[in-house]
Amino acid sequence: MPFAAITYDIKPGYEAELAAIFGDFKRVRSSRVQDERGEAAGTILATAVFLRDDTLVRVIEYTGDLEAVARHMASQPGVREVEAKLKPYLSKPRDTDTVEGFVATFKRSLLNTVAQISVRDIPSAA
């Protein structure tokens, strides 16, 4: 399963406030991702958030099309709420108020995958 990681440039010194924002996160209504035609386009399997100094990273494990995943996330109330709550703590503004803005910001914030290894990728011994 692929992973994606997106970064947030934040003001340092607000670790407790940022942890509280993500601690109150409302899960997405469904982990199933649909494309613009309503057809299955993937699944969000897991997410994790990491923070140090002035960098926050959200890691997403998913299946399917990453742009469809970003569009799905953009429409979720919990994601929209987190993005709004993060605004005062950002050192660089993010345009996430619209689906198009969210997807564009998601793409700009995406880290390049250098390596990805999982025990699920190892064929089981027979």
pTM: 0.86
Q: What is the pLDDT of residues 79-99, one digit of tens each?
A: 999 999 999 999 999 999 999
The C-alpha atoms of residue 23 and residue 17 are separated, in whole angstroms, by 10
Q: What is the pLDDT of residues 37-72, one digit of tens each?
A: 888 999 999 999 999 999 999 999 999 999 999 999
